[in-house]
Amino acid sequence: MRRKFITNIILLLSLNFLIKPFWVLGIDRTVQNVVGPAEYGFYFAIFNFTFILQMFLDMGITNFNNRNIAQNTHLLTKHFSAIIIMRFLFAIIYMLTIMSIGYLIGYQTRQLWFLFIIGINQFLLALILYLRSNISALLLFKVDSMLSVLDRLFMILICSVLLWGNIPNFRFTIKWFIYAQTLAYCLTALIAFFIVINKTVNLKLNWNPAFFSMVIKKSWPYAVLVFLMSMYSRIDSFLIERILPDGAVQAGIYASAFRLFDVANNMSGVLFAALLLPIFSKMIKQKKDLNQMIKLPFTLLFIVSVGMAIAATFYGENIMNYLYHPYAEESASQYLARTQLSTKVLVILMFTYIATSFTYIFGTLLTANGSLSKLNKVAFVGVIISLVLNFWLIPKYSSPGSAWAALSAQWITALLQIYLAFKLLKIKFESSYLMRLFIFIILTIISAFFSNYINVQWHWQLAIMAILVIFVALVLKLLNLRLFFSILKTEE
């Protein structure tokens, strides 16, 4: 299993490193620079609002399906034929819910229209994730890896034409960004659908209320978990936009930092979790030892997340100044204030990323084990912490206050998940291994200090720091190349 994980994570990360940085830094960032922080913040707040309510779209079926099909591959045709109908029924419930809540909280006509289109986008994205859950559950990781970047590839192509195609009498606005997502998701969903259809046998759509009831009963704990985790992970920008007088601008400032946090999550943690859930599920069913399988992805994510958090502390301001330029109506002092705020948010969120990395390992492990009731209790604690701190800190500290709330909620829930995983599944990390992790943190901080005083431009300093961090990980044998190649050669 470690060999399968390594070979597929290499492919998955390679594809994502090719596509997603250009999407985030080339397209998404350019969109914010073109439309301005207020317009992008307006979109970002609505997007996160629709994201939080995804429970009504998915009802936990994707996670349930991934675990269930991984353990019982022969059920694919039977389950797919009924679940695909359920997803469209859930889409109607979801759209009615978000539009009703949007109206009740005071969204105006333009906001409601954007809410409708973004809601459709969320349905398409959830459908893609469900289709991919079938593919990854069959352990077809190479195909799933291709699909993981396909929507972004389509969006890059479409937005490149819209942004830089010199279309006569055309002005790029945030609505074109949203419409581009709709088209890209449609194309990706169609391709994923035909791939799944090809893996089924004599597929016929099946209207089966008894089956619907059974699936909802089994998947409901997953739905609650997704909702609660979405609440404390995505509520921040929505509350910023609603609470503060300049909420749209502050949400845009938060989004400029969150973008880097989100790409780090999606290019490492989320991808690891997508691979690990079916692997953990199969290993638990077969009662195999989990310790080494857990230690491998945990070590990789620990190195990456700690390195990025410390790098953001030393180079965050340089990064934000490089990525975002002053707007036409913005004075030098306003630009400085905006970048200073976004830098503070970035540093806090990158330390939050360490905690979310832990969640992607241990939360996934507990999900594979079926410990949903315990995970839901932990997530509920996260929601309470997030809401209390957001309502307290946002009025005092604006967007950085929301980042502090995220940091607190994510770290507390991550530590609780680690405790539960160690207790329930008898996970053990040797004291010598934990000591090496601690030494790695100290030496990474020293590497950042050292690189910061080298008389070269900041991006070369950052590159030197990255090289030093990799060297430290190799010396401490956190990155063990000999073991790595041994696994590739010998394990199945």
Q: pLDDT tens, position by position, for the chain (492 residues)?
A: 555 555 555 655 566 666 777 777 788 888 888 888 788 888 888 888 888 887 777 676 666 665 555 555 555 556 666 677 778 888 898 999 999 999 998 888 888 999 999 999 999 988 888 788 777 666 666 777 777 778 888 999 999 999 888 888 888 889 999 999 999 999 999 998 888 777 666 656 666 677 667 767 777 777 788 788 888 888 888 889 889 888 888 888 898 888 888 888 876 655 566 667 777 777 777 777 777 778 888 888 899 999 999 999 999 999 998 888 877 677 788 888 888 899 999 999 999 999 999 998 898 888 888 788 898 999 999 999 999 999 999 999 998 999 999 999 999 999 999 999 888 888 888 899 899 999 999 999 999 999 988 989 999 999 999 999 999 999 998 876 565 545 444 444
CA atoms of 344 and 292, how far apart (whole Å): 37
How high is the pLDDT of residue 275?
A: 67
Cβ atoms 406, 236 nearer than 8 A: yes
Q: Which of 125, 193, 195 is nearest to 154 (CA)?
A: 125
The whole-number pLDDT of residue 77 equals 59
Reference 459, options 451, 471, 470; nearest CA is: 451
What pLDDT, on the 0 to 100 scale, is given for residue 85? 79
Interacting residues of 378 by C-beta distance below 8 A, sequence separation 6+: 413, 416, 417, 420
Q: Which pTM was predicted?
A: 0.77
- From the list 419, 414, 413, 425, the residue with the least C-alpha distance to 369 is 425
Question: What 3-state DSSP class applies to 169?
Answer: coil
pLDDT of residue 489: 47
Q: What secondary structure letter does DSSP report for 127?
A: H
Which of the 8 DSSP states describes residue 74?
G
pLDDT of residue 492: 46
Q: Rounded to whole angstroms, how far apart are CA atoms 431 and 196?
A: 45
Task: Report the C-alpha gap between 171 and 168 in whole angstroms.
Answer: 9
Which two structure tokens, joined as six digits, stand for 36?
């301005």
Separation CA 24–CA 266 (nearest Å): 11
Cα-based angle 63, 69, 75 (whole degrees, multiple of 5) = 130
- Taking the CA atoms of 236, 239, 243 and 245 in sequence, report the sign of the dihedral they define: positive
The phi-psi region of residue 272 (left if phi > 0; otherwise alpha if psi is between -120 and 50; otherwise beta) is: alpha
Helix (H) or strand (E) holding 265: none
Question: Which pLDDT tens digit goes with each residue over 166-204?
Answer: 888 888 889 999 999 999 999 999 998 888 777 666 656
Confidence (pLDDT) at 490: 46
The DSSP line for 315-359 is HHHHHHHHH----TT--HHHHHHHHHHHHHHHHHHHHHHHHHHHH
Q: What is the pLDDT of residues 284-327, one digit of tens each?
A: 777 777 777 788 888 888 999 999 999 999 999 999 988 888 77
Q: Give the Cβ contact number of residue 273 at 10 Å.
A: 22
